[in-house]
Every structure is written in C-alpha cells, then in structure tokens.
C-alpha cells in the first residue's frame, strides 16, 4: 500500500510522526508503507544501507532513513533526535527488529560457545532493542502523550511458534509491554501486535549460521493450513492495520498494556502443532558445531 489514502489530510495518521526500527524489510517495511499511506512522516532505524537507500528513494520527503543498530541505546537516541529535529515531534515508536531461531529445540542447540552467542544475539535483537527504543523515545512520547508499539508474535502467547530461544524472547516482550504500560501511564500507551505466520525475510542469528536463510524458505503455506482456521498465508501488509489503530490517538485512547493477537485464530484450532513441530524438525537440524543446515527438501 504505497499510495496515500485519498490525500494526506484524510489519513488516520495525518500529521503524526513515527520511528520504526527494522523498517527496511518484511513487516517493518509494510508498516512504513502503511503509515506513509495514512499520512504519517516516518524515521526508520535500519542496519542495511541498501534498504535505507531504497526507502530514501521511494519516500524522499516523508521518510528519514537513519543507519544504526537497534540493539544500541545510542543509536535509538540518535534516530529519535533526528526524527524530532526533522519533523518537529514524535507521536509513535514502533520496535520491530527480530531474529527467529528456526524452531531449533533445546536438544538441537549447540553444546559449545555458539549456545551463549545464540542466546545473546536473539535476546539483544528481540528484547534489548525494544527496551532501548522505549528508553530513547520516552521523553518525546511523554511530551506528545504518544504510543509505543512492539512487534510480538504468536510465539509470545504459546509454545510451538519457534524453539526455546525465540519463544522465551517473545514472551519477554509481553512482560516488557505490561511493565512499561504500568510505568509510563498515563502519558504513553504501550501495546504489542502479535502476528502469526507470514512470508518475510526474517532470519536467524549468526551463531546458528542461519543469517542468509529466512522464514520464507519454509513451506509456510502448508504450515499455516495446519494451524490457522482461516487457512490462508497472510502477507506482511495484512497485519499493518493494527499498528495504524494503536498509533492513532483517536482510535486507541483506551488501550494500553494490551497485545493484539492476529494469528488467524490459531487458539480456536486447539493448538494443532504436533505436525508443525515435526515438519520443522525435519527441515532444520543443528550440528554439534553449532550450525543450522537443511536436511530435506521443502514441500
């Protein structure tokens, strides 16, 4: 969704300013596109220079592309300062970075230093980056009585959406949302969106040797047909309406400390994840040296 909604003055986020971390690809890029379409101005913190160039070329007026590492507090402070200097204020901060662990089980995790590195890398990007963003954005969001939104996951709510590293990191996001909603009220609303499966470029941590493999390498259409009553594989753009709603001062005034589950109704299916887990185990294994390798064809 790259075109403005009618015109910028009629969008749900007209005049609003947002920072989005990890906004260069996947659901992050979809959120950027939707926010722009709804009339917002956006600053993006992104580690990939190519993705930053693409954002700047696509939205020369409405997007401020900032190179940086979302796990570093200093870089989060820098993008917030750049956004307020360029656009005058900040209304919304979307913490959206993440690694997946490709469903690697406790037994499959490496027995050497790769274990420690994998834990540190996943929790840095999935949890520390969110807390760093909240710390950096707090003064500006307090001044605007704004909104802090975190990207959680269906794995934030139940097991089976990943292995123990990913699942525990995403459960931590829910705890962070609740604690910060309590601490930052009444000035800042803090909420999360918990998407289900989709095709994105989400990768694994370097310590598991999966940085060039993405979640889209898996047979997601088959997996989703197993676990989702709605029976279709969503695109990243299908989830962006929830971010727009939570960023809207008009539509979400009464919501804080909440997590919106938009997973296609997985819970009403009764968590039929045994087949899902078997498929993942057949598709990915971890060698004793700590590298993830494909072991069968996708289908």
Q: 256: domain CATH number?
A: 3.40.50.720
Please tell me the predicted confidence (pLDDT) of residue 9. Answer: 56
Q: Judge whether 81 lies within some domain.
A: yes
Q: Is residue 2 part of a domain?
A: no
Q: Quick one: pLDDT at residue 270?
A: 53
**CA-closest candidate to residue 154, choices 166, 146, 145, 140:** 166
The arithmetic mean of pLDDT across residues 83-110, rounded, is 94
What is the per-residue pLDDT across 208-219, written as a single tens digit (0 to 9) for each? 875 446 555 555
88 located within any domain: yes
Helix axes 26-37, 240-247, angle to 10 degrees: 50
Q: Is residue 158 part of a domain?
A: yes
* DSSP assignment letter at 95: E
Domain count, the chain: 1
- Nearest by Cα to 99 from 79, 119, 74, 72: 119
126-168 tens-digit pLDDT: 999 999 999 999 999 999 999 999 999 988 888 878 899 999 9
- List b or e across 144-164, with b for residues whose CB sees 16 or more CB atoms inside 10 angstroms: bebbbbbbbbbbbbeebbbbe
Distance CA 54, CA 24 (A): 8
Structural domain contains residue 299: no
Does 1 map to a domain?
no
Query: What does the block give as tokens for 234?
Result: 């969503």
Give how far Cα 295 sits from Cα of 164, 213, 281, 298, Å. 21, 14, 9, 10
Per the domain annotation, does 72 fall within a domain?
yes
| Interacting residues of 61 by C-beta distance below 8 A, sequence separation 6+ | none
How many Å apart are CA 96 and CA 179, to the nearest integer? 18
Residue percentage of the chain with pLDDT more than 90: 64
> CB neighbours (10 Å) of residue 291?
14
Which whole-number Å values give the CA distances from 60 to 56, 80, 278, in the listed order?
5, 18, 46
pTM of the model: 0.84
Is 160 a domain residue? yes
Contact 67, 47 (CB under 8 A): yes
Residue 4 has pLDDT above 70, yes or no: no
> Using one digit for the tens of pLDDT, what is the confidence trace for 40-79?
999 999 999 999 999 999 999 999 999 999 999 999 999 9
Predicted pLDDT at 200: 67
pLDDT of residue 297: 25
pLDDT digits (tens, 9 = 90+) for 160-205: 788 999 999 999 999 999 999 999 999 999 999 999 876 767 788 9
Tell me which residue range forms the domain holding 184: 8-294
Buried/exposed code over 14-36 (b: 16+ C-beta within 10 A; e: otherwise): eebbbbbbbbbbbbbbbbbbbbb
Q: What pLDDT, in 10s, does the model give residues 221-247?
A: 666 666 677 776 778 899 999 999 999
Q: Mean pLDDT of all residues in the chain?
A: 84
> What residues are annotated to the active site?
166
């Amino acid at each position: 969704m790259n075109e403005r909604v009618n015109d910028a003055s009629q969008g749900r986020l007209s005049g609003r300013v947002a920072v989005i971390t990890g906004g260069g690809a996947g659901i992050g890029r979809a959120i950027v596109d939707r926010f722009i379409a709804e009339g917002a101005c956006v600053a993006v913190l992104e580690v990939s220079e190519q993705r930053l160039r693409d954002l700047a070329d696509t939205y020369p007026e409405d997007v401020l592309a900032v190179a940086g590492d979302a796990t570093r507090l200093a870089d989060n402070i820098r993008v917030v300062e750049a956004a307020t200097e360029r656009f005058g204020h900040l209304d919304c901060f979307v913490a959206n970075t993440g690694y997946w662990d490709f469903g690697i089980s406790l037994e499959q995790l490496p027995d050497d230093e790769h274990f420690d590195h994998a834990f540190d890398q996943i929790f840095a990007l999935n949890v520390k980056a969110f807390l760093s963003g909240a710390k950096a954005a707090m003064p500006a969001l307090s001044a605007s009585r704004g909104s802090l939104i975190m990207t959680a996951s269906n794995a934030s709510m139940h097991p089976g959406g990943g292995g123990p590293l990913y699942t525990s990191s995403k459960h931590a996001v829910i705890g962070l949302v609740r604690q910060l909603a309590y601490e930052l009220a009444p000035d800042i609303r803090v909420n999360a969106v918990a998407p289900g499966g989709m095709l994105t470029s989400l990768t694994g941590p370097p310590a598991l040797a999966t940085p060039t493999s993405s979640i889209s390498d898996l047979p997601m259409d088959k997996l989703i047909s197993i676990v989702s009553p709605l029976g279709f594989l969503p695109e990243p753009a299908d989830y962006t309406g929830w971010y727009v709603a939570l960023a809207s001062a008009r539509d979400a005034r009464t919501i804080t400390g909440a997590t919106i589950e938009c997973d296609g109704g997985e819970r009403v299916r009764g968590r039929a994840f045994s087949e899902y887990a078997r498929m993942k185990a057949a598709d990915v294994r971890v060698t004793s040296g700590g590298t993830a390798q494909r072991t069968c064809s996708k289908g």
